[in-house]
């Protein structure tokens, strides 16, 4: 079971007992002064979620004399968690790591479940591993998060709420980040416990991601916002499979977080990216809800995918 502490105040102890802290340049600009000397700062943003960054982190580990029995800490958003976690999972064939998430998305979602990855070309998360970090969530770090990144975190929370009646009900009332994060951590941990290696239950978390990953690559929008755009388009594409009233309820719900209604992506390009998705077995896989908490999978051939996506936009 993954160790996840929320607002325990223990993150600095963890950081100072680590052999290396990995962060990005933006986070370092704000919080670098309180981090130890033994840190590796990589460029910020999705463009740096690459093998090149892994090499840079590995070189820093070697320079700091990180041993097999040591641990490192990722201090940053989901990008830093994915890339530093991957580096830890392969350095000397795997060392332990901790994660102090500093974005809403990383606190509510990516810190749970141990998926690590880097992108290769246009393929998101093409290379990765499963490696569970100990997690120290401190919501005070949200105070410096830019609005655009906060909204991105809300995208993954909205997606997650379709998996859980309790979270969905909470989302209909007054929002509070700490409570939302607690719901998401509880929910995702339970799903991951059933299906650590993504063969069954965990697939439900991919709601919005088939189209969302392509939207992220093609538009450069933040991850969680792209997932929400992906979710809206996927619901429209599969509306015939979704109970009528529920479909309209979800449209109204998503509208509250995503005012933009019309999109103009190149459907063929979306299909090319969607076809490289790891989830695919027979055709392009899309997860869709039929009620809150009840998620199904559709597999579309390329032509049908493109036609439905064009209609949805």
What residues line the site for ligand NAD (CB under 6 A)? 24, 26-27, 30, 44-46, 49, 76-80, 82, 102-103, 105-106, 109-110, 113, 115, 141, 144-146, 149, 152, 222-224
Closest contact distance (angstroms) between CB of 313 and ligand NAD is 23
Closest contact distance (angstroms) between CB of 201 and ligand NAD is 14
Closest contact distance (angstroms) between CB of 77 and ligand NAD is 2
Q: Is 5 left (phi over 0), alpha (psi -120 to 50) or beta?
A: beta
Q: How far apart are CA 271 and CA 149, in angstroms?
A: 26
Q: Strand 71-76 vs strand 96-101: parallel, antiparallel, or unpaired?
A: parallel
Cα-Cα-Cα-Cα dihedral sign, residues 144, 147, 148, 153: positive
In the complex with ligand NAD, the residue whose CB is nearer, 211 or 308, is: 211
In the complex with ligand NAD, the residue whose CB is nearer, 26 or 285, is: 26
For Cα atoms 273, 275, 280, give the angle at the middle one, nearest 5 degrees. 135
In the complex with ligand NAD, the residue whose CB is nearer, 107 or 308, is: 107
Closest contact distance (angstroms) between CB of 102 and ligand NAD is 4
Q: How far apart are CA 285 and CA 209, in angstroms?
A: 10
Closest contact distance (angstroms) between CB of 213 and ligand NAD is 8
In the complex with ligand NAD, the residue whose CB is nearer, 79 or 295, is: 79
Closest contact distance (angstroms) between CB of 155 and ligand NAD is 9
In the complex with ligand NAD, the residue whose CB is nearer, 70 or 156, is: 156
Q: In this structure, what token pair is assigned to residue 190?
A: 């339970």
For Cα atoms 200, 130, 36, give the angle at the middle one, nearest 5 degrees. 145
Task: Describe the crossing of helices 267-275 and 209-219 by its angle, rounded to 10 degrees.
Answer: 120
CA distances from 159 to 34, 140, 154, 204, 215 (A): 34, 23, 8, 10, 16
In the complex with ligand NAD, the residue whose CB is nearer, 60 or 191, is: 191
């Amino acid at each position: 079971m993954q160790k996840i502490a929320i607002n325990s105040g223990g993150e600095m102890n963890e950081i100072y007992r680590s052999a290396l802290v990995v962060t990005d340049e933006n986070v370092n600009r704000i919080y670098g002064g309180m981090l130890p000397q033994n840190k590796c700062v990589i460029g910020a943003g999705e463009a740096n979620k690459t093998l090149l960054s892994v090499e840079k982190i590995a070189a820093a580990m070697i320079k700091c004399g990180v041993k097999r029995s040591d641990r490192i800490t990722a201090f940053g958003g989901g990008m830093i968690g994915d890339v530093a976690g991957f580096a830890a999972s392969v350095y000397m064939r795997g060392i332990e790591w901790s994660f102090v998430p500093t974005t809403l998305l990383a606190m509510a979602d990516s810190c749970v479940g141990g998926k690590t990855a880097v992108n290769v070309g246009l393929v998101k998360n093409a290379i990765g591993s499963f490696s569970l970090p100990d997690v120290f969530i401190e919501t005070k770090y949200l105070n410096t998060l830019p609005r655009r990144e906060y909204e991105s975190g809300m995208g993954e929370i909205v997606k997650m709420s379709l998996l859980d009646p309790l979270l969905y009900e909470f989302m209909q009332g007054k929002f509070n980040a700490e409570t939302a994060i607690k719901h998401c951590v509880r929910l995702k941990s339970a799903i991951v416990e059933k299906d650590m290696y993504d063969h069954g239950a965990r697939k439900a978390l991919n709601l919005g991601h088939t189209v969302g990953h392509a939207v992220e690559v093609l538009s450069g929008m933040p991850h969680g916002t792209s997932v929400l755009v992906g979710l809206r388009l996927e619901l429209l594409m599969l509306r015939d499979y979704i109970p009528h009233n529920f479909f309209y309820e979800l449209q109204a719900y998503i509208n509250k977080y995503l005012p933009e209604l019309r999109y103009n992506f190149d459907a063929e390009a979306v299909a090319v990216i969607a076809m490289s998705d790891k989830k695919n077995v027979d055709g392009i896989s899309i997860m869709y809800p039929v009620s809150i908490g009840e998620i199904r999978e559709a597999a579309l051939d390329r032509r049908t995918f493109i036609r439905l996506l064009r209609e949805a936009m």
